[in-house]
């Protein structure tokens, strides 16, 4: 079955540094991959989508890469701020209406 793996350990970084989160997937060749942000007690919020023919996608301080050979996506937040502290979820569409998610990586940005 399809599986998505994200670093289960929390990532702690200093304000102003670049945070890099990893998403690996197996048993599937998705046409695109999505990233979401989730704050405690709230639902996930969509951030970015990257297609298989796009190596890189940017939105303000966010950058996502997609390597279909490695079956991996990297999510970068540059010039990180304490307000970026949240859980970040990787997701992919597996067919029909099914979107599956990784367990997420918790990011803490210290001032």
Partner 1 sequence: ETGVTQTPRHLVMGMTNKKSLKCEQHLGHNAMYWYKQSAKKPLELMFVYNFKEQTENNSVPSRFSPECPNSSHLFLHLHTLQPEDSALYLCASSQETMDRRNSPLHFGNGTRLTVT
Rounded distance, CA 82 to CA 85, Å? 6
| Interaction of residue 93 with partner 1, rule CB under 8 A | yes
| CA distances (Å), origin 45, targets 34, 36, 38, 42, 53 | 11, 5, 6, 9, 24
| Interaction of residue 97 with partner 1, rule CB under 8 A | yes
Q: Which of residues 15-54 bind partner 1 (CB under 8 A)?
A: 31-32, 34, 36, 41-46, 49, 51
**Among residues 15 and 52, whose Cβ is nearest to partner 1?**
52
Torsion-angle region of 65 (φ positive above 0: left; ψ -120 to 50: alpha; else: beta): beta
**Radius of gyration of the chain from its Cα atoms, rounded to whole angstroms:** 13
**How far, rounded to the nearest angstrom, does the alpha carbon of residue 40 sit from its chain's CA centroid?**
17
**Among residues 14 and 40, whose Cβ is nearest to partner 1?**
40
CB of 64 to partner 1, least distance (A): 13
| Interaction of residue 109 with partner 1, rule CB under 8 A | no
Q: Which residues of the chain form contacts with partner 1 (CB under 8 A)?
A: 4, 8, 31-32, 34, 36, 41-46, 49, 51, 89, 91, 93, 96-104
């Amino acid at each position: 079955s399809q599986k998505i793996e994200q670093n289960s350990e929390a990532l702690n970084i200093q304000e102003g540094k670049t945070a890099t989160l990893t998403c690996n997937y197996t048993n599937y060749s998705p046409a695109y991959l999505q990233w979401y942000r989730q704050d405690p007690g709230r639902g996930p919020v969509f951030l970015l989508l990257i297609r298989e023919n796009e190596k890189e996608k940017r939105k303000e301080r966010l950058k996502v890469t997609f390597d279909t050979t490695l079956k991996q996506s990297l999510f970068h937040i540059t010039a990180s701020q304490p307000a970026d502290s949240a859980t970040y979820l990787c997701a992919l569409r597996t067919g029909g209406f099914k979107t599956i998610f990784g367990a997420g990586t918790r990011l803490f940005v210290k001032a």
